[in-house]
Amino acid sequence: MKEGRKYIEFGALVLLAAGLIWWFGRRLDWAQVKEALQRADWRWIALACVIIAVAYLFRALRWRAFLAPLTKASLYEIWIATTVGFAAVLLVGRMGEVVRPVVLPMRDRRVRPAASFVTIMVERIYDSMTVVFIFALNLLWFRPSSGNADAFRHVRQVGLVLVVMGIIGLVALVLFRIKSPAVIGWVEAVFKKWPRVPARAKTAVLSLLDQLARALKVLSHPRDLAVTVGWSFLLWGSVVVGNLCVFRAFHLHVGGKPFGLTESMFILGWSMLGSAVPTPGGAAGAFHAATGAGLLFVGVEIQQAAAVAIVLHLVDFGPAALCGLFYFLRGDINLANLRNLSKSEAIEHAVEDEKIAPDTVELGAVSSGDTF
């Protein structure tokens, strides 16, 4: 039954992706799009791919920092899990995100499944808040020159609302970390009043809350908070610079000047909005439509905007996909185990049954010598 529902959901997402791709391309003159692609300077695009590959390394380093309160982990194995996981996202969309936290425990036996899953949750929080702050703070000095002043006021208002929501979310996480024993005790007491809730579901929820509280130790230790925030800004700063290289490859100008960092940060917000749509192909269709809309907003011609969106999508996902494919072909990933462990039942058991031992590794105890 669950398998059938999974296929139905995936089919629906494929149809959504197809509809978004149709909507994205319905008004395009594909001959002009092809011409824009041919005029691009592929040296800039190659440089962008290298920078994005470095961004994935920063992501792996940050993941190891998230795991530090829970366990030691090999940076090399984290790198493999990261690239294979994003290759899966490119293949099947956000449903492939489960691959990354599954691969790491397969590769590094010191990392328990519950620790892997909960640190990915923390990572998603960091990514969302970092991109929101980059996008919103950039709006303070970014000025469009395409005559969309009224529309830009609405965009700025949305950005400020996102900043406020981000601050509220951060405060809530800090309070949860401080009050986690009381919160978990309260949830457990509520579950006792609901006898019809399956015992497995209760245990899974309580285990997740416990592991989340442990992983959020990075918020209560200034040094480790600075490390994880630093890796986050290095990661997304690299993405901004990599995207800027793509814009330079297409010779994009705004107000008579070449695209700069402010334009790149502005478009990043639009791209991430599209990436949130869980369609196969790494948010195929949604990423292109949202990125293209952002480019149109700043005055880029529609055919060129489409060409840029297509290349930007390939650059952002391509390096991870190639590395992931390499590890698959080399035999580093056991496909049978990955398929079994990626099933929802296996994930539930992993979260329910894994109990991370009391902290035997202090924050910051993982040194740079514990990498490969």
For residue 188, how many C-alpha atoms fall within 13 Å in the half-sphere facing its CB?
A: 12
Question: Is residue 361 a contact partner of residue 69, using CB atoms and an 8 Å limit?
Answer: yes
Number of domains in the chain: 1
pLDDT in tens, 239-298: 999 999 999 999 998 777 889 898 999 999 899 888 888 788 888 888 999 999 999 888
**Is residue 170 a part of any domain in this protein?**
yes
| DSSP-based three-state secondary structure for 121 | helix
**Is residue 16 a part of any domain in this protein?**
no
> Cα separation of 279 and 91, whole Å?
10
Question: Is residue 347 a contact partner of residue 121, using CB atoms and an 8 Å limit?
Answer: no
Task: Average the pLDDT over 305-322 and give the result.
Answer: 93
pLDDT in tens, 327-371: 877 776 766 566 555 554 445 444 445 444 433 333 333 333 333
**Is residue 370 a part of any domain in this protein?**
no
pLDDT in tens, 212-225: 777 677 666 778 88
- Would the pLDDT of 372 be above 50? no
**Is residue 14 a part of any domain in this protein?**
no
**Is residue 368 a part of any domain in this protein?**
no
Which of 365, 372, 317 lies closest to 85, judged by CA? 317
**Is residue 299 a part of any domain in this protein?**
yes
> Cα separation of 336 and 341, whole Å?
9
The predicted model scores a pTM of 0.79
Which of 205, 208, 209 lies closest to 192, judged by CA? 205
**Is residue 11 a part of any domain in this protein?**
no
Containing structural domain, residue 303: 31-353
**Is residue 7 a part of any domain in this protein?**
no
- Strand ranges (E), 134-226: none
First to last CA, the chain: 42
